[in-house]
Structure 1
Amino acid sequence: MTQAYGVGDELPPLDIPVTRTLIVAGAIASRDYQDVHHDADLAKEKGSPDIFMNILTTNGLVGRYITDHFGPAAVLRKVAIRLGAPNYPGDVLRLTGRITELAGPVGPVGPVGEDPVRATIAVPVGERPVRATIAVTGDNGIGRHVTGTVTVMLPATGTLPVTGTLPATEDLPAPSGERAGA
């Protein structure tokens, strides 16, 4: 079983409501206690219309976007982002992505359909992982909030993206170390 990905493939968009809770929780979780991320009055005194999301929260959301698509077995290797327009409460951040590079065990490589430039990579079961680079952008009501690239290692299981299917109970070890159903 293989899962083919092509350079140029678009990931489905992810819309994330930007709430006060998300902004403040992200700042606290990343230990960014600057007042512009949790105190609206002080943010306004400093010239901002409201509190705004910090870069570490955006970085985490970009990583989530990639792992949500490729599944929990995908391993983020590098997330490189640049911020643009701020994320304020009440807006929606729309993340989009496009595969820009694939490297690893190669199945059929060549033209895909009518496109002579685009190539695919097949992930054979049991082979080494595949490295994928994805260009990511995130837009909100003001404009472009984030641009960047993510490098991710995809396991060579042939089941990407993960659909949420779990192994059968008999395939899982029993708590005592014995096989379930034995």
Structure 2
Amino acid sequence: MKTRRFEDVSLGEQLPALEIPITVALITGGAIATRDYFPGHHDKDAAQQLGSPHVFMNILTTSGLVQRFVEQWCGPEGRLQDLRIRLGAPNYPGDSMTFQAEISAIDAASRTVELSLKGKNSMGNHVTGTVAVTLPGQQESRA
């Protein structure tokens, strides 16, 4: 995996979209891995008693998927500095979520870029937010 260098990015640059299939295994596995034992994340009957059609993704799984999306773009030498997200429409099994983002701010002094992103499913935006990433300079990159 190649690391993005600060000199190679520009304001308004679009990141390649990433589609994530939403499955029961992803939702329940994410909840268990993050020790979120709320029944709506792993028990379909309990989720339905809450008025939900199926189990639904927790914010920690969403946060991890946002991190995956950004790190896949920036590469192994990029460093996430700040992650701010807000949830919207729930993620249910059988749907998919597509991440999109663009570079919305650049700070040359710290070699940090801010990404404005969204993850959209069939019901609308599941997640929106910003992520700040520090990228290596051309002389620092080893990739």
Query: What TM-score, normalized to structure 2?
Result: 0.90
Q: 3-state DSSP class of the match of 1:132?
A: strand
1:25 is aligned, of 25, 29, 42, to 29
Task: Give the 4+ runs in structure 1 shifted more than 6 A.
Answer: none
1:36 is aligned, of 36, 40, 57, to 40
Amino acid at match of 1:61: L
1:71 is aligned, of 49, 67, 75, to 75
Do 1:2 and 1:158's aligned partners in 2 also have CA atoms closer than 8 Å?
no
Amino acid at match of 2:124: G
Of structures 1 and 2, the larger Rg is shown by 1
Q: Which structure has the higher relative contact order (CA within 8 Å, separation 6+)?
A: 2
Which residue of the partner structure matches residue 154 of structure 1? 135
Which residue of the partner structure matches residue 85 of structure 1? 89
Shift of 1:74: 0.8
Which runs of 5 or more residues in structure 2 are unaligned?
Answer: none
Q: 3-state DSSP class of the match of 2:100?
A: strand
Which residue of the partner structure matches residue 13 of structure 2? 9
Do 1:3 and 1:159's aligned partners in 2 also have CA atoms closer than 8 Å?
no
2:121 is aligned, of 115, 126, 140, to 140
Higher helix share: 2
> What is the aligned residue count?
139
RMSD: 1.9
Which residue of the partner structure matches residue 112 of structure 1? none
Show CA shifts across 1:47-73 (max 9, x none): 000000000110111111110001011
Identity of aligned residues (%): 45
Query: What TM-score, normalized to structure 1?
Result: 0.72
Which residue of the partner structure matches residue 57 of structure 2? 53
